[in-house]
Amino acid sequence: MIKKAHNVEGNLCTAAEEAYNVLRSNIQFCGFNKRIKSLVITSCVQGEGKTTTAFNLALSMTRIRLKVLLVDADLRKPLITKYLGNNDSPGLSNLISEQIDFKDGIYTTDVEGLSFMPAGDKPPNPAELLNSVNFDEFLLKAEEQYDIVIFDTPPLGSVIDSAIIASKADGTLLVTKPGSVDYKMGVRVKEQLEKANARILGVVLNGVKKRDYRDYCNYNYYTGNKPRFLFTKWISRLKKYRSS
């Protein structure tokens, strides 16, 4: 039986909502011959906005009538689970450890097309659970039943959990905020994802003041069938740092 989660509140100003719609479009067009069915959202450190990005991106996906499963894969500090009031509900960890069936870990919301899987009980070995065959089977089933599966994962600067999931998913978004990390840490996180063979789709620059917007990015543009992402000076500097 699929249960009901608490009401989802996703009231954004017009500019913020449009920003998530642009992000959604970029993700849709970056798949080339393969559509993105599973997406990891992570960051370097806490407080950069990865959970907010995962949540609002999921809402944006439902606006074009996609069937979305939002998974709280932060088994150590599950923020979305806390926000939706499912703290004591079985979820991802219980499913992977074979305590519940697939359908028993999924909750509906009051947003049409959006389902949610909480983190579940805090396990003693999150990384081992996520690197198991049971997780692979869950991901396969979720991709079959939903148009896209979005994972909110822990920051990569502290634990390896996100890299494990990223190695299995179709794509990964790295969320960062100006001034939150130095370039050395940014390079380290990027290399960690690359070693895991994760497909990095791009970077979401969060918390940029309007007056500073032009200093960080240019408008998106597309050429034929090859979409080019909105790359930031932050990424350019990471590349320069690595080559120096």
What is the structure's pLDDT at 211?
52
The answer to whether residue 189 sits within a structural domain is: yes
pLDDT of residue 60 exceeding 80, the answer is yes
The answer to whether residue 1 sits within a structural domain is: no
Per-residue pLDDT tens for 122-148? 999 999 999 999 999 999 999 999 999
What is the structure's pLDDT at 82?
85
**Which among 171, 181, 241, 239 is positioned nearest to 207, based on CA atoms?**
181
What is the structure's pLDDT at 13?
63
pLDDT of residue 195 exceeding 70, the answer is yes
User: HSE on the CB side for 36, CA within 13 Å?
Assistant: 22
The answer to whether residue 19 sits within a structural domain is: no
The string of DSSP letters for 106-158 reads -EE-SSTTEEEE---SPPS-HHHHHTSHHHHHHHHHHHHHSSEEEEE---TTT
The answer to whether residue 210 sits within a structural domain is: yes
Identify the CATH number of the domain in which residue 217 sits. Answer: 3.40.50.300
Question: Which DSSP helix (H) or strand (E) runs through 19?
Answer: helix 14-29
The answer to whether residue 7 sits within a structural domain is: no
Q: Give the chain's domain count.
A: 1
Name the token pair of 126: 């999150």
Mean confidence (pLDDT) of the chain: 80
The answer to whether residue 72 sits within a structural domain is: yes
The answer to whether residue 2 sits within a structural domain is: no
The answer to whether residue 29 sits within a structural domain is: no
Least confident piece of the model among 25-39, 63-77, 143-157? 25-39
Region 46-68: what's the mean pLDDT?
92
Q: What predicted TM-score, i.e. pTM, was given to this entire model?
A: 0.81
Paired residues of 205 in beta bridges: 176
What is the structure's pLDDT at 229?
36
Which range of residues forms the domain containing residue 116? 35-243
Region 74-91: what's the mean pLDDT?
88
